[in-house]
């Protein structure tokens, strides 16, 4: 049946548009579209018609005419709830319009202002979401006046800002969130970008996107997030997954996070972690935040002086994924007393069979566990190291402070 379809429409072209019966009587108005939940471009299955206080569904192919007015056949409307029961479909107004979407190209949160549908094989398919100001003006009926004003004042025309629907996926949860990539592809974003995105979202949406991440990605992202939001996210995460996430975090970041939680919640998370990892974090929790002990991490590599360069490189390669400090290897005796330090450059350029004792730098700048954080900052500024070892009163190596931790002290709000 020829519906007189144009080549493309915006969803706002249909929203609240009046519909008429074949006899010319007003039958109601369009309040939503129903689309199939498939990729890459969902087909519009039908319209939701409000007639009085009730909502009905009309299959798209049953419409007699779309232009210049929408004409419906007699007696083809069905109860909306009855149609939706058991069907996996999308209500575009309820589930897409005005929702927030993650624009991965700009790594930011934007809002869906309109939808762009295209005629393909005599049917309409959803091809773009419109996240621009032009879409908002079109939605409220101001597109043409704004165009005229901008053209007259500035010789400027508002551009369309479209995101292809193929980059959009519905995220199930208490409040559906729309992502410009699939959940799996979220892990391709830099954790700092993901952190910015999550911080821009509301509470429910934050939880939805955070809970969709795998533990490793969630841990990397959590390390970049504002501590207050960190606390809220981990408190709403199921205990088993929370333990998995904290276990993947840097020990120092994990200790900072758990230190903000209640003792009961922190202990529950620790009990769900691997014992060795949990003990590393517990050791850090006893130190005040403003001390060197509170800034240090236990994820570093320390080796004895007799180990060869070749063996040290092998150890570094195998343990690197779990290390926070990879710029230096620390040489310790059997009592963990610090003997020297070796930079990665010196390690890689040394003869493979030399013992570490022959290439170590014996004069090591270090700080004590109870040293004030301001003195730690001064030490970094004076010596220009990328990391500083932390010793106890018996000169045993207890941790290492990274330059990043110092940055957190100098600019705590910089992110």
Picking from 230, 259, 286, the residue at the C-terminal end of a domain is: 286
- Residue 177: the pLDDT is 47
Predicted TM-score (pTM) of the model is 0.57
pLDDT of 409 > 80? The answer is no
In a domain, 234, yes or no: yes
Show the 3-state SS of the chain. Answer: CCCCCCCEEEHHHCCCCEEEECCCCEEEEEEEEEEECCCCCCEEEEEEEEECCEEEEEEHHHCCECCCCEEECCCCCEEHHHHHCCCCEEEHHHHCCCCEEEECCCCEEEECCEEEEEEECCEEEEEEEECCHHHHHHHCCCHHHHHHHHHHHHCCCCCCCEEEHHHCEEECCCCCEEECCCCHHHHHCCHHHHHHHHHHCCHHHHHHHHHCCCHHHHHHHHCCCCHHHHHHHHHCCCHHHHHHHHHHCCHHHHHHHHHHCCHHHHHHHHHCCCHHHHHHHHHHHCCCCCEHHHHCECCCCEECCCCEHHHHHHHHHHHHHHCCCCCEEEEECCCCEEEEEEEHHHHHHCCCCCEHHHCCECCCCCEECCCEHHHHHHHHHHHCCCEEEEECCCCEEEEEEEHHHHHHHHCCCCC
pLDDT of 253 > 50? The answer is yes
- Residue 350: the pLDDT is 93
Range of the domain at 241: 190-286
- Residue 180: the pLDDT is 56
Which pLDDT tens digit goes with each residue over 94-105?
888 888 777 655
Confidence of residue 173 (pLDDT cuts 50, 70, 90): very low
Same domain as 306, residue 278: no
Same domain as 307, residue 388: yes
Same domain as 307, residue 269: no
**In total, how many domains does the chain have?**
3
- Residue 314: the pLDDT is 94
Per mean pLDDT, which range of 47-61, 126-140, 399-413 is the poorest?
399-413
Picking from 241, 262, 286, the residue at the C-terminal end of a domain is: 286
In a domain, 160, yes or no: no
Which pLDDT tens digit goes with each residue over 221-231?
898 888 889 99
Picking from 286, 320, 347, the residue at the C-terminal end of a domain is: 286
Q: Give the CATH number, domain containing residue 32.
A: 2.30.30.240
In a domain, 293, yes or no: no
- Residue 301: the pLDDT is 94
pLDDT of 17 > 50? The answer is yes
Same domain as 325, residue 405: yes
pLDDT of 137 > 60? The answer is yes
In a domain, 49, yes or no: yes
Confidence of residue 176 (pLDDT cuts 50, 70, 90): very low
Same domain as 17, residue 121: yes
- Over residues 276-302, the mean pLDDT reads 88
- Over residues 258-285, the mean pLDDT reads 91
In a domain, 157, yes or no: no
Confidence of residue 175 (pLDDT cuts 50, 70, 90): very low
Same domain as 380, residue 273: no
- Residue 336: the pLDDT is 93
Same domain as 382, residue 323: yes
In a domain, 101, yes or no: no
Same domain as 251, residue 315: no
Confidence of residue 174 (pLDDT cuts 50, 70, 90): very low
pLDDT of 4 > 70? The answer is no
Selected residue with higher pLDDT from 319 and 196: 319
Which pLDDT tens digit goes with each residue over 60-89?
888 777 877 888 887 778 888 888 888 888
Confidence of residue 24 (pLDDT cuts 50, 70, 90): confident
- Residue 183: the pLDDT is 53
In a domain, 333, yes or no: yes
Same domain as 366, residue 269: no
In a domain, 324, yes or no: yes
pLDDT of 214 > 60? The answer is yes
pLDDT of 182 > 60? The answer is no
- Residue 240: the pLDDT is 93
Same domain as 19, residue 85: yes
Same domain as 221, residue 120: no
Q: Give the CATH number, domain containing residue 382.
A: 3.10.580.10
């Amino acid at each position: 049946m020829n519906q007189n379809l144009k080549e493309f429409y915006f969803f706002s072209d249909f929203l609240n548009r009046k519909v008429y019966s074949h006899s010319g009587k007003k039958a109601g108005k369009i309040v939503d579209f129903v689309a199939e939940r498939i990729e890459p471009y969902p087909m519009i299955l039908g319209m939701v018609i409000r007639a009085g206080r009730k909502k009905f569904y009309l299959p798209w192919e049953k419409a007699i005419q779309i232009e210049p007015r929408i004409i419906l056949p007699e007696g083809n409307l069905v109860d909306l709830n009855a149609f939706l029961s058991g069907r996996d479909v999308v209500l575009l107004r309820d589930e897409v319009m005005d929702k927030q979407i993650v624009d991965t190209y700009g790594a930011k949160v934007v809002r869906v202002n309109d939808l762009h549908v295209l005629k393909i094989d005599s049917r309409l398919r959803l091809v773009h979401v419109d996240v621009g100001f032009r879409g908002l003006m079109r939605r409220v009926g101001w597109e043409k006046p704004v165009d005229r004003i901008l053209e007259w004042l500035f010789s400027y025309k508002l551009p369309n800002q479209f995101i292809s629907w193929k980059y959009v996926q519905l995220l199930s949860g208490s409040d559906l969130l729309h992502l410009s990539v699939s959940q799996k592809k979220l892990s391709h974003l830099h954790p700092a970008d993901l952190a910015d995105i999550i911080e821009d979202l509301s509470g429910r949406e934050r939880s939805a996107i955070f809970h969709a991440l795998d533990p490793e990605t969630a841990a990397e992202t959590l390390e970049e997030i504002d501590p207050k939001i960190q606390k809220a996210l981990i408190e709403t995460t199921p205990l088993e997954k929370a333990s998995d996430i904290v276990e993947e975090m840097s020990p120092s970041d994990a200790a900072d996070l758990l230190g903000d939680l209640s003792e009961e919640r922190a202990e529950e998370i620790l009990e769900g972690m691997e014992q060795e990892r949990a003990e590393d974090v517990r050791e850090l929790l006893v130190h005040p935040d403003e001390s060197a002990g509170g800034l240090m991490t236990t994820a570093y590599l320390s080796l004895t002086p007799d180990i060869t360069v070749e063996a040290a490189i092998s150890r570094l390669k195998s343990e690197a994924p779990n290390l926070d400090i990879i710029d230096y290897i620390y040489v310790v005796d059997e009592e963990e007393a610090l003997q020297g330090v070796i930079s990665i450059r010196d390690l890689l350029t040394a003869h493979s069979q030399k013992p570490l004792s022959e290439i170590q730098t014996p004069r090591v700048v270090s700080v004590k566990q109870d040293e004030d954080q301001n003195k730690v900052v001064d030490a970094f500024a004076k010596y220009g190291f990328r990391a500083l070892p932390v010793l106890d009163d018996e000169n045993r190596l207890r941790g290492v402070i990274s330059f990043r931790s110092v940055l957190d002290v100098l600019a705590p709000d910089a992110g």
